Structure 1
Amino acid sequence: MINWGFLGAGSIATSSLAPAVHATAHASLHSVAARDAQRAAALGPKKTYAAYQELLGDPEVDVVYIALHNSAHRVWVEAALAAGKNVVCEKPIALSTAEIDSMTAAADAAGKLLVEAAWNRWHPRTRAMEALIDQGAVGEVGHVAAYFDGIAPAPGNYRLDPAQGGGALYDVGYYAVSATLAAFGWQQPAVRDVRQERWSAHSADRLTSFVLDFPGGGSADVFSGLTGDWRETLRIDGSTGSIRLVDPAFTAGSLSSVLEVSGDAAADFSRTYQAVDPYQLMVAEVTRALQDREAYLVPLSQSRAIAQVIDAVRAYA
C-alpha cells in the first residue's frame, strides 16, 4: 500500500485528489495537514495534522501531494523532498524556470520522485492527441491555436494576487502552453506580440495572449483568460491534416469529450472519449511508479519547458 499525505485541504484536494486516492487500488489517504482541522478531517484520512512539518515527519507517509497556492510550491516541495518523501505538486509546479531547476536538483539529491500534477495530461484524449502527432498523423505541424478563457475568480481568491502566483497565465495559460509545446515536440519557441490586461493596477493578469514562433517556421496563437466567458479550444494544423479537441479542449473529465482529425478524406475520423477521472488515472500511475511498476509520468523536462515559455511571456510583458 502506498500512503499519501496532503499538505492543504483546499478545493482541488477536496473535490478531486482525495476522491481519486480513495478510489485507487493500492493507495491510501494516510494523512492531511491543514490549518482547518475540520476540512482536513472531511477528506477522510487516517490522521490529520495542524502543521505541515508534522506530516513530513510521519514515517508512514510515502508520497506527499502539495495542494497549496502557487507561491508556496517551491518551499514545501523542497521541504518534503528533504524529509525523504516522494512528491506530487499541483500545477504549475513552479513560478519560474529557476524554481523548477532548484526543485529538480533537490529531487535528484534526495533520490525521490517529483511529479507535476498536470492532471489533464493523463486524460486518454490528451495522450491520444500527443500520440497522433508523434506518429505523423497530420504531417509536420505548422500552426496551433490554443484558447482557454476560464471562470472569473471571486473576491479574495488567490488567483487575483500576483504575490501568490495568481493570474490567467499561470492558471489556465498553463494548459494552452502545454498543449502547444506538445504539438511542436517540446521545442522552445520565441515569444512576441504579448497583450495583457489586469483587473486593477496591482492585480495579477486577467488575460494574457501572445504568439509563439518555433524553429522551422511554425507558430502558435495562445490566449489565456479568467474573464468568465468559459471557452476551451485547441486546433493543430499540419502539412497533411488537422487535429481539433472539441470544447472543453483541456479540462474534459466529468463529461465525454471529442477529438477530430481531418485532412485526407479517407483518413478523417472522430473519436469520443467517455467521462473519466484524470486525477484518478494520475494517482494510479504515480502509485504504480512507487511500487516499481511500469507507469506513465509527465517528465520534469516538459514541466521545465512550460516554465521557460511562461518566463519569456512574463519578461516580454
Structure 2
Amino acid sequence: MMNWGFLGAGSIAESSLAPAVRATPDAALHSVASRDQERAAALGPEKTYATYRDLLADPDVDIVYIALHNSAHREWVEESLRAGKHVVCEKPLTLSAADVDALTDRAEASGKILVEAAWNRWHPRTLDMEDLLGRGALGKVTHVSAYFDGPTPAPGNYRLDPALGGGALYDVGYYAVSAVLAAFGWQRPVVREARQERWSAESADRMTSFVLDFPCGGTAEVFSGLTGDWIETFTVTGDDGELQLLDRAFTAGAEASRLTGTSKSTPFTHSYAPIDPYQLMVEAVTAAARTQDTYLVPLAQSRAIAQVIDEVRARV
C-alpha cells in the first residue's frame, strides 16, 4: 500500500484528488496538512497535521500531493523531495522554466518521482490524439486553434493575485499551451502578437491571447481567459486532414466526450465514456512509486510548457 499525504485541503483536493486516491487500489489517503483542520479532516485521512513540515516528517508518507497556490509550488516540491517523498504537484509545476529545471535536478538527485498533476494528459482521448498526430494521420500539422475561457474567480481567490501566480495564462492557458505543443510534436515555438487584459491594474490577467510560430512552418492561435464564459475548443489542421476535440476540449472526464475529424478524406469519430482522469493519474503515480512501468507526464514537457508561458509573459 502506498500512502499519500496532501499539502493543502482546497477544492481540487476535496473534489478530485481525495476521491481518486480512495478509489485507487494500493493507495491510501494517509494524511492531510492544512491550516484549516476541519477541512483537512473532511477529506477523510487517517491523520491530519497543522503544518506541512509535520506531514513531511511522517515516515509512513510515500507520495506527497501539493495542492497549494502556484507561487508556493517550488518551495514545497523542494521540501518534499528533501524529505525523501515522491511528489505530485498541481499544474503549473512552477512559475518559470528555470524553476522547472531546478526541480528536475533536485528530483534526479533524490531518486524520487516528480510529476506535474496535468490530470487531463491521462485521459484516453488526449493519449489517442497524441498517437494519431504522432502517426501522421493528418499529414503535416499546419495550424492549431486552442480556446479556453473559464469561470471568473470568486473575490479573494488566488487566481486574481499575480503575487500568488494567479491569472488566466497560468490557469486555463496551461491546458491550451500543452495541447498545442503536443499537436506540433513538442517543437519549440516563437511567440508573437501577445495581448493581455487584467481585471485591474494590480490584478493578474483575466485574458491572454497570442500566436505561436513553429519551426515546421505551422502556427497556433491561443486564447486563455477567466471571463465567465465556459468555452473550450481545440482544432488541429494538417495538410491531409483535420481533428477536433468536441464537448469539453481540455477538461473532459465526468462527461462523455468525442474526438472527430478526417484523415485522407475519410471521416472518423472516437467516443469516450465518462471517466476519472484524476484516478488514472493517481493509479499511474502509485504504480511508478512501486517501480512498475507506467506512463507519467515527462518533466521535459512540463519545462516546454513553462518556457512558452515565460515567453508570452515577456511579450505582454
TM-score between both structures, scaled by the size of structure 2: 0.99
- CA displacement, residues 94-148 of structure 1 (integer Å, 9 cap, x when unaligned): 1001111111111111111000000000001011000000111111101000000
Q: Return 159-168 or 238-247, whichever deviates more.
A: 238-247
Residue of structure 1 equivalent to 2:294: 295
Q: What is the rounded CA distance, in whole Å, between the counterparts of 1:192 and 1:179 in structure 2?
A: 18
Residue of structure 2 equivalent to 1:315: 314
Q: What is the rounded CA distance, in whole Å, between the counterparts of 1:164 and 1:57 in structure 2?
A: 26
Q: What is the rounded CA distance, in whole Å, between the counterparts of 1:253 and 1:148 in structure 2?
A: 16
Q: What is the rounded CA distance, in whole Å, between the counterparts of 1:158 and 1:276 in structure 2?
A: 29
Matches within 5 A, 1:197-276: 197-265=197-265, 267-276=266-275
What root-mean-square deviation, in Å, do the aligned CA atoms of Structure 1 and Structure 2 show?
0.6
- CA displacement, residues 50-85 of structure 1 (integer Å, 9 cap, x when unaligned): 000000000000010000000000000000000111
Could you tell me whether the CA contact under 8 Å between 2:6 and 2:33 is conserved in 1? yes
Q: What is the rounded CA distance, in whole Å, between the counterparts of 1:290 and 1:172 in structure 2?
A: 29
Could you tell me whether the CA contact under 8 Å between 2:169 and 2:208 is conserved in 1? yes
SS in 2 for 1:253: coil
Is 1:12 matched with 2:27? no
Residue of structure 1 equivalent to 2:188: 188
Q: What is the rounded CA distance, in whole Å, between the counterparts of 1:109 and 1:28 in structure 2?
A: 27
Q: What is the rounded CA distance, in whole Å, between the counterparts of 1:101 and 1:226 in structure 2?
A: 29
Residue of structure 2 equivalent to 1:139: 139
Deviation at 1:264, TM superposition (A): 2.9
1:101 partner amino acid: D
Q: What is the rounded CA distance, in whole Å, between the counterparts of 2:83 and 2:290 in structure 1?
A: 20
1:178 partner amino acid: S
Is 1:283 matched with 2:282? yes
Is 1:151 matched with 2:151? yes
Q: Which runs of 5+ in 2 are unaligned?
A: none
- CA displacement, residues 179-212 of structure 1 (integer Å, 9 cap, x when unaligned): 0000001011000001100000010000000000
Q: Return 100-109 or 231-240, whichever deviates more.
A: 100-109
Q: What is the rounded CA distance, in whole Å, between the counterparts of 1:287 and 1:72 in structure 2?
A: 24
Q: What is the rounded CA distance, in whole Å, between the counterparts of 2:299 and 2:240 in structure 1?
A: 31
Deviation at 1:263, TM superposition (A): 4.1
Could you tell me whether the CA contact under 8 Å between 2:232 and 2:250 is conserved in 1? yes
- CA displacement, residues 210-237 of structure 1 (integer Å, 9 cap, x when unaligned): 0000002100000000001110000000
2:143 partner amino acid: H
Residue of structure 2 equivalent to 1:25: 25
Q: What is the rounded CA distance, in whole Å, between the counterparts of 2:211 and 2:104 in structure 1?
A: 29
Residue of structure 2 equivalent to 1:75: 75
1:38 partner amino acid: E
Provide the aligned length of Structure 1 versus Structure 2: 316
Could you tell me whether the CA contact under 8 Å between 1:231 and 1:247 is conserved in 2? no
Q: What is the rounded CA distance, in whole Å, between the counterparts of 1:91 and 1:30 in structure 2?
A: 22
Could you tell me whether the CA contact under 8 Å between 1:5 and 1:63 is conserved in 2? yes
Residue of structure 2 equivalent to 1:44: 44
SS in 2 for 1:35: coil
Q: Return 104-113 or 146-155, whichever deviates more.
A: 104-113
SS in 1 for 2:131: helix
Residue of structure 1 equivalent to 2:304: 305
Q: Which runs of 5+ in 1 are unaligned?
A: none
1:85 partner amino acid: K
Residue of structure 1 equivalent to 2:99: 99
Q: What is the rounded CA distance, in whole Å, between the counterparts of 1:27 and 1:198 in structure 2?
A: 41
SS in 2 for 1:170: coil
Large movers: runs of 4+ above 4 Å = none
Q: What is the rounded CA distance, in whole Å, between the counterparts of 1:37 and 1:223 in structure 2?
A: 38
Deviation at 1:247, TM superposition (A): 3.0
1:19 partner amino acid: P
SS in 1 for 2:60: coil
Could you tell me whether the CA contact under 8 Å between 2:211 and 2:220 is conserved in 1? yes
Deviation at 1:261, TM superposition (A): 1.9
